[in-house]
Amino acid sequence: MGDALPLLQIRDLNKLFGGLVAVTGLDLDVSEGEILGLIGPNGAGKSTVLNMIGGTILPTRGKIVFNGEDITKLPSYIRAQQGIARVFQQDILFANLTVIENLLVGLHLHLRMGFVGTFLKRYTPVGKEMELASQTLEFTGLAQHFDELAKNLPHGKQRLLGLAIALATQPKLLLLDEPVTGMNAEEMEAILTLVKVVRERRGITSIIVEHNLRAVMSVCDRIAVLNFGGKIAEGSPKEVVGNPAVIEAYLGTEEDAA
Protein backbone atom coordinates (compact mmCIF):
# COMPACT_ATOMS: atom_id res chain seq x y z
CA MET A 1 0.00 0.00 0.00
CA GLY A 2 2.06 2.97 1.28
CA ASP A 3 2.80 5.34 -1.61
CA ALA A 4 0.03 4.22 -3.95
CA LEU A 5 -2.99 6.52 -4.25
CA PRO A 6 -5.77 5.27 -1.97
CA LEU A 7 -8.76 3.65 -3.70
CA LEU A 8 -11.15 5.76 -1.64
CA GLN A 9 -10.44 9.19 -0.17
CA ILE A 10 -12.91 10.95 2.07
CA ARG A 11 -12.20 14.56 2.98
CA ASP A 12 -14.04 16.71 5.51
CA LEU A 13 -17.29 14.79 5.09
CA ASN A 14 -20.33 16.30 6.85
CA LYS A 15 -23.95 15.34 7.04
CA LEU A 16 -26.69 17.25 8.79
CA PHE A 17 -30.21 15.89 9.11
CA GLY A 18 -32.04 19.13 9.87
CA GLY A 19 -30.29 20.29 13.03
CA LEU A 20 -28.89 16.87 13.86
CA VAL A 21 -25.19 16.37 13.15
CA ALA A 22 -24.85 12.82 11.84
CA VAL A 23 -21.29 13.02 10.51
CA THR A 24 -18.81 15.83 11.03
CA GLY A 25 -15.40 16.55 9.52
CA LEU A 26 -14.59 12.96 8.64
CA ASP A 27 -11.33 12.17 6.82
CA LEU A 28 -10.72 8.58 5.81
CA ASP A 29 -8.49 6.79 3.32
CA VAL A 30 -8.98 3.21 2.18
CA SER A 31 -6.23 1.52 0.18
CA GLU A 32 -6.81 -1.00 -2.55
CA GLY A 33 -7.16 -4.53 -1.20
CA GLU A 34 -7.74 -3.40 2.35
CA ILE A 35 -10.51 -4.60 4.67
CA LEU A 36 -11.55 -1.67 6.85
CA GLY A 37 -13.85 -1.94 9.84
CA LEU A 38 -16.05 0.99 10.78
CA ILE A 39 -17.26 0.70 14.37
CA GLY A 40 -18.79 2.90 17.02
CA PRO A 41 -21.71 3.09 19.45
CA ASN A 42 -25.31 3.32 18.19
CA GLY A 43 -25.97 6.58 16.38
CA ALA A 44 -22.29 7.26 15.79
CA GLY A 45 -22.93 7.82 12.08
CA LYS A 46 -21.44 4.60 10.67
CA SER A 47 -24.35 3.72 8.42
CA THR A 48 -24.65 7.33 7.26
CA VAL A 49 -21.01 7.25 6.14
CA LEU A 50 -21.65 4.01 4.26
CA ASN A 51 -24.77 5.49 2.64
CA MET A 52 -22.80 8.52 1.51
CA ILE A 53 -20.09 6.35 -0.05
CA GLY A 54 -22.77 4.25 -1.78
CA GLY A 55 -24.67 7.32 -2.90
CA THR A 56 -28.05 6.65 -1.29
CA ILE A 57 -27.52 9.81 0.83
CA LEU A 58 -25.74 12.92 -0.43
CA PRO A 59 -23.36 14.72 1.97
CA THR A 60 -24.02 18.25 3.22
CA ARG A 61 -20.37 19.14 2.68
CA GLY A 62 -17.14 17.37 1.84
CA LYS A 63 -15.62 15.29 -0.88
CA ILE A 64 -15.45 11.61 -1.79
CA VAL A 65 -12.87 10.49 -4.33
CA PHE A 66 -13.01 6.95 -5.69
CA ASN A 67 -10.37 5.55 -7.98
CA GLY A 68 -9.09 9.07 -8.68
CA GLU A 69 -12.51 10.48 -9.57
CA ASP A 70 -14.69 12.83 -7.55
CA ILE A 71 -17.93 10.91 -6.98
CA THR A 72 -19.42 13.16 -4.28
CA LYS A 73 -22.48 14.13 -6.31
CA LEU A 74 -22.95 11.08 -8.52
CA PRO A 75 -26.15 9.03 -8.20
CA SER A 76 -25.81 5.56 -6.73
CA TYR A 77 -26.35 3.66 -9.99
CA ILE A 78 -23.37 5.40 -11.59
CA ARG A 79 -21.23 4.66 -8.52
CA ALA A 80 -22.22 1.02 -8.92
CA GLN A 81 -21.14 1.16 -12.55
CA GLN A 82 -17.77 2.48 -11.38
CA GLY A 83 -17.30 -0.42 -8.99
CA ILE A 84 -18.93 0.33 -5.64
CA ALA A 85 -21.29 -2.44 -4.52
CA ARG A 86 -23.55 -2.39 -1.52
CA VAL A 87 -24.68 -5.17 0.81
CA PHE A 88 -27.66 -3.93 2.79
CA GLN A 89 -28.27 -4.28 6.49
CA GLN A 90 -31.84 -5.52 6.18
CA ASP A 91 -32.80 -8.41 3.97
CA ILE A 92 -33.22 -6.27 0.89
CA LEU A 93 -33.44 -8.82 -1.90
CA PHE A 94 -35.60 -9.48 -4.95
CA ALA A 95 -37.82 -11.58 -2.70
CA ASN A 96 -40.16 -13.06 -5.31
CA LEU A 97 -37.46 -13.87 -7.83
CA THR A 98 -35.42 -17.07 -7.73
CA VAL A 99 -31.86 -17.07 -6.44
CA ILE A 100 -30.41 -17.25 -9.94
CA GLU A 101 -32.67 -14.43 -11.13
CA ASN A 102 -31.41 -12.31 -8.23
CA LEU A 103 -27.91 -12.80 -9.58
CA LEU A 104 -29.00 -12.02 -13.15
CA VAL A 105 -30.20 -8.57 -12.05
CA GLY A 106 -26.75 -8.02 -10.55
CA LEU A 107 -25.11 -9.07 -13.79
CA HIS A 108 -27.10 -6.56 -15.83
CA LEU A 109 -24.23 -4.09 -16.00
CA HIS A 110 -21.85 -6.46 -17.68
CA LEU A 111 -24.24 -7.74 -20.27
CA ARG A 112 -25.45 -4.66 -22.05
CA MET A 113 -27.85 -5.32 -24.88
CA GLY A 114 -29.05 -2.89 -27.50
CA PHE A 115 -32.56 -1.48 -27.81
CA VAL A 116 -33.89 -4.54 -29.60
CA GLY A 117 -32.29 -6.87 -27.07
CA THR A 118 -33.72 -4.94 -24.16
CA PHE A 119 -37.28 -4.33 -25.32
CA LEU A 120 -38.30 -6.62 -28.12
CA LYS A 121 -36.61 -9.94 -27.54
CA ARG A 122 -37.96 -12.49 -25.17
CA TYR A 123 -35.59 -12.54 -22.20
CA THR A 124 -34.08 -15.96 -21.79
CA PRO A 125 -30.72 -15.90 -20.06
CA VAL A 126 -28.35 -18.30 -21.76
CA GLY A 127 -24.68 -19.01 -22.26
CA LYS A 128 -22.35 -16.44 -20.83
CA GLU A 129 -24.95 -14.92 -18.54
CA MET A 130 -25.95 -18.21 -16.90
CA GLU A 131 -22.30 -19.20 -16.67
CA LEU A 132 -21.35 -16.02 -14.81
CA ALA A 133 -24.34 -16.30 -12.49
CA SER A 134 -23.68 -19.97 -11.68
CA GLN A 135 -20.02 -19.21 -11.06
CA THR A 136 -20.94 -16.63 -8.45
CA LEU A 137 -23.47 -19.03 -6.89
CA GLU A 138 -20.87 -21.78 -6.76
CA PHE A 139 -18.41 -19.38 -5.22
CA THR A 140 -20.79 -18.26 -2.49
CA GLY A 141 -22.05 -21.76 -1.80
CA LEU A 142 -25.63 -21.06 -2.91
CA ALA A 143 -25.56 -23.31 -5.98
CA GLN A 144 -27.97 -25.89 -4.55
CA HIS A 145 -30.61 -23.18 -3.95
CA PHE A 146 -30.49 -21.69 -7.46
CA ASP A 147 -34.18 -22.19 -8.32
CA GLU A 148 -35.63 -21.35 -4.90
CA LEU A 149 -37.40 -18.06 -4.28
CA ALA A 150 -35.14 -15.68 -2.39
CA LYS A 151 -37.79 -15.13 0.28
CA ASN A 152 -37.78 -18.84 1.15
CA LEU A 153 -34.08 -18.96 2.05
CA PRO A 154 -33.03 -18.99 5.72
CA HIS A 155 -31.73 -15.69 7.09
CA GLY A 156 -28.03 -16.60 6.82
CA LYS A 157 -28.38 -17.65 3.20
CA GLN A 158 -30.31 -14.48 2.40
CA ARG A 159 -27.43 -12.37 3.62
CA LEU A 160 -25.09 -14.54 1.58
CA LEU A 161 -27.30 -13.92 -1.45
CA GLY A 162 -27.09 -10.17 -0.80
CA LEU A 163 -23.32 -10.50 -0.95
CA ALA A 164 -23.54 -12.67 -4.07
CA ILE A 165 -25.64 -10.01 -5.87
CA ALA A 166 -23.03 -7.40 -4.97
CA LEU A 167 -20.23 -9.65 -6.23
CA ALA A 168 -22.09 -10.24 -9.50
CA THR A 169 -21.61 -6.55 -10.32
CA GLN A 170 -17.84 -7.25 -10.27
CA PRO A 171 -17.03 -4.45 -7.84
CA LYS A 172 -13.75 -2.91 -6.74
CA LEU A 173 -15.17 -1.84 -3.38
CA LEU A 174 -17.70 -3.69 -1.23
CA LEU A 175 -19.75 -1.82 1.36
CA LEU A 176 -21.09 -4.23 3.96
CA ASP A 177 -23.63 -2.91 6.45
CA GLU A 178 -23.70 -5.17 9.51
CA PRO A 179 -23.18 -8.33 7.47
CA VAL A 180 -23.28 -10.77 10.39
CA THR A 181 -26.12 -9.53 12.62
CA GLY A 182 -28.46 -12.28 13.74
CA MET A 183 -26.22 -15.05 12.45
CA ASN A 184 -24.95 -18.19 14.11
CA ALA A 185 -21.20 -18.84 14.33
CA GLU A 186 -21.13 -21.00 11.25
CA GLU A 187 -22.99 -18.53 9.02
CA MET A 188 -20.81 -15.72 10.36
CA GLU A 189 -17.69 -17.66 9.47
CA ALA A 190 -18.97 -18.28 5.92
CA ILE A 191 -19.53 -14.57 5.24
CA LEU A 192 -16.23 -13.42 6.77
CA THR A 193 -14.24 -16.07 4.92
CA LEU A 194 -15.86 -14.97 1.69
CA VAL A 195 -14.84 -11.36 2.26
CA LYS A 196 -11.25 -12.50 2.74
CA VAL A 197 -11.33 -14.83 -0.25
CA VAL A 198 -12.61 -12.17 -2.67
CA ARG A 199 -9.82 -9.90 -1.47
CA GLU A 200 -7.22 -12.56 -2.19
CA ARG A 201 -8.60 -13.77 -5.50
CA ARG A 202 -10.01 -10.60 -6.99
CA GLY A 203 -8.35 -7.88 -4.94
CA ILE A 204 -11.72 -6.55 -3.76
CA THR A 205 -11.54 -3.88 -1.07
CA SER A 206 -14.17 -3.96 1.72
CA ILE A 207 -15.58 -1.55 4.25
CA ILE A 208 -17.50 -3.30 7.03
CA VAL A 209 -19.84 -1.58 9.45
CA GLU A 210 -20.46 -3.97 12.32
CA HIS A 211 -21.50 -4.19 15.95
CA ASN A 212 -20.01 -7.61 16.52
CA LEU A 213 -16.50 -6.65 17.66
CA ARG A 214 -15.13 -10.18 17.51
CA ALA A 215 -16.12 -10.46 13.85
CA VAL A 216 -14.54 -7.09 13.06
CA MET A 217 -11.32 -7.95 14.90
CA SER A 218 -10.95 -11.26 13.09
CA VAL A 219 -11.34 -9.97 9.55
CA CYS A 220 -10.25 -6.33 9.38
CA ASP A 221 -6.75 -5.03 8.66
CA ARG A 222 -7.58 -1.64 10.08
CA ILE A 223 -10.39 -0.19 12.15
CA ALA A 224 -11.78 3.32 12.33
CA VAL A 225 -13.91 4.24 15.33
CA LEU A 226 -16.67 6.82 15.08
CA ASN A 227 -18.45 8.60 17.93
CA PHE A 228 -20.95 11.47 17.60
CA GLY A 229 -20.24 11.62 13.86
CA GLY A 230 -16.48 12.15 14.18
CA LYS A 231 -13.51 9.79 14.04
CA ILE A 232 -12.02 9.23 17.49
CA ALA A 233 -9.48 6.51 16.69
CA GLU A 234 -7.94 4.64 13.78
CA GLY A 235 -5.42 1.83 13.58
CA SER A 236 -4.88 -1.91 13.71
CA PRO A 237 -7.43 -3.93 15.70
CA LYS A 238 -4.99 -4.23 18.62
CA GLU A 239 -4.22 -0.52 18.74
CA VAL A 240 -7.88 0.35 18.67
CA VAL A 241 -9.05 -1.90 21.51
CA GLY A 242 -6.34 -0.49 23.76
CA ASN A 243 -7.21 3.13 22.96
CA PRO A 244 -8.64 4.95 26.02
CA ALA A 245 -10.93 7.14 23.88
CA VAL A 246 -12.50 4.04 22.37
CA ILE A 247 -13.01 2.39 25.75
CA GLU A 248 -14.62 5.59 26.98
CA ALA A 249 -16.95 5.78 23.97
CA TYR A 250 -18.12 2.21 24.45
CA LEU A 251 -18.17 1.95 28.25
CA GLY A 252 -18.58 5.56 29.39
CA THR A 253 -16.21 7.43 31.75
CA GLU A 254 -15.89 6.90 35.48
CA GLU A 255 -17.84 10.11 36.15
CA ASP A 256 -20.73 8.75 34.04
CA ALA A 257 -20.76 5.61 36.12
CA ALA A 258 -20.76 7.52 39.37
Partner 1 sequence: MNRKWLTYALGIVAITAFLISLPFVLRSPYWVSILIILGIYTLLVASLRTITLIGVFSLGHVGFMLIGAYSSALLVMRTGLSFWAAFIIAGLVSAAVALLLSYPFLRVKGIYFAILTLLTAETFRLVAWNWKSLTGGNYGLINIPAPNPLTIPGLGIMQFESFNSYYYLTLTVVVLSLFLLYRLEHSKAGFIWRAIREADILTRCVGINIMKFKIINFVVACFFAGVAGALFAHFQRSLSVDYSSTFGTMMSIYLIVYLVVGGPERFAGPILGATVLIIASEFARPLQENQPILLGVITILIVLYMAQGIVGLPNRFQLWYERALKRINRNTTSKTSLGG
Q: Residues 132-161: x/- map of binding to partner 1 (CB under 8 A)?
A: ------------------------------
Work out whether 98 is an interface residue with partner 1 (CB under 8 A).
no
- Please select the residue that binds partner 1; options are 93, 100, 190, 194, rule is CB under 8 A: 93
**CB of 87: closest distance to partner 1 in angstroms?**
9
In whole angstroms, give the CA distance from residue 157 to residue 162.
9
In whole angstroms, give the CA distance from residue 234 to residue 225.
6
- Please select the residue that binds partner 1; options are 22, 166, 173, 174, rule is CB under 8 A: 166
In whole angstroms, give the CA distance from residue 187 to residue 137.
16
Residue among 79 and 145 whose Cβ is closer to partner 1? 79
Work out whether 198 is an interface residue with partner 1 (CB under 8 A).
no
Work out whether 81 is an interface residue with partner 1 (CB under 8 A).
yes
In whole angstroms, give the CA distance from residue 85 to residue 45.
20
Work out whether 113 is an interface residue with partner 1 (CB under 8 A).
yes
Question: Where is 11: in which H helix or E strand?
Answer: strand 8-17
Strand pairing category for 35-39 and 205-209: parallel
Work out whether 99 is an interface residue with partner 1 (CB under 8 A).
no
Nearest to 194 by CA among 210, 209, 179, 177: 179
Tell me the three-class secondary structure of 14-34, residue by residue.
EEEECCEEEEEEEEEEECCCC
- Please select the residue that binds partner 1; options are 165, 207, 216, 223, rule is CB under 8 A: 165
The site for partner 1 (CB under 8 A) is made up of 54, 56, 75-78, 80-81, 85-86, 88, 92-97, 101, 104-106, 108-109, 113, 117-123, 165-166, 168-169
